[in-house]
Amino acid sequence: MRIYDGSPRQDWEGVLRGIGAFADRERLKEILFLELDEGFVLQGLTMQAAASDSDNLGTLVKRTYELTEDQVGELMDASDSKRGTASVDRAQPDLLNYYEQSLRILGAYIDGQKAHDVFFLEQEGSYVLRLFGVAGERGGGHQLSEFTRDEMFAMIEAAPDQRRQPAPETTGAK
């Protein structure tokens, strides 16, 4: 789904926020994300419930989702409908909506880079991103970026304050 190549979705922040909320609902961990021409692949680990007659807590299994543009639109709509209703406990770093918040932050970063062909993976709260076509680079190319777990939690904590700040005024010829 080429966000900056004619797609009606022009906002990585919104797209990834919706996908992050989906990952939280599915209780995914250790996610991998890949942009495709017609959508995205989201893969992660989750606990498969044990049978009711079993003493086991469950088994860790890999889940893979291919998300179409229409499905992403539905995820964005669902995420937008609950916007502003979540509470962030700044003293508690184990957030129930970690992926919704962390992917929104990554989306804002990607928007700033004007990148496409997005690929990233997460392990234990840290992210490695590979972006293509980064703004300002001659001829494009791949860029690798890394965000540690501590950096992600600091950005999540700072996000509400940043959203409350007034937009900077622009000056220019009239």
**Count of structural domains within the chain:** 1
Worst-scoring range by mean pLDDT, 82-86, 103-107, 164-168? 164-168
SS3 33: strand
Classify residue 32: in a domain, yes or no.
yes
Which structure tokens are listed for 172?
């220019």
Are 29 and 45 in contact by the 8 Å Cβ rule? The answer is yes
Classify residue 31: in a domain, yes or no.
yes
Classify residue 169: in a domain, yes or no.
no
Classify residue 88: in a domain, yes or no.
no
Q: pLDDT digit string (tens) for 8-66?
A: 556 899 999 999 999 999 999 999 999 998 889 999 999 887 666 666 667 899 999 99
Classify residue 90: in a domain, yes or no.
no
Q: pLDDT digit string (tens) for 94-147?
A: 578 999 999 999 999 999 888 888 999 999 999 999 998 766 655 568 899 999
Classify residue 5: in a domain, yes or no.
no
Amino acid found at 77: D
Q: Residue 64 and residue 49: Cα distance in Å, rounded?
A: 17
Select from 60, 61, 62 the least CA-distant residue to 41: 62
* Exposed/middle/buried for residue 11 (C-beta within 10 Å: 0-12, 13-18, 19+): middle
Amino acid found at 81: S
Select from 6, 9, 2 the least CA-distant residue to 73: 9
- Mean pLDDT for 73-89 is 70
Question: Strand runs (DSSP E) across 78-139, as ranges?
Answer: 116-123, 126-132
**Full residue range of the structural domain in which residue 151 is found:** 12-49+58-83+96-161
Classify residue 166: in a domain, yes or no.
no
Classify residue 45: in a domain, yes or no.
yes
pLDDT above 80 (res 161): no
Higher pLDDT, 111 or 172: 111
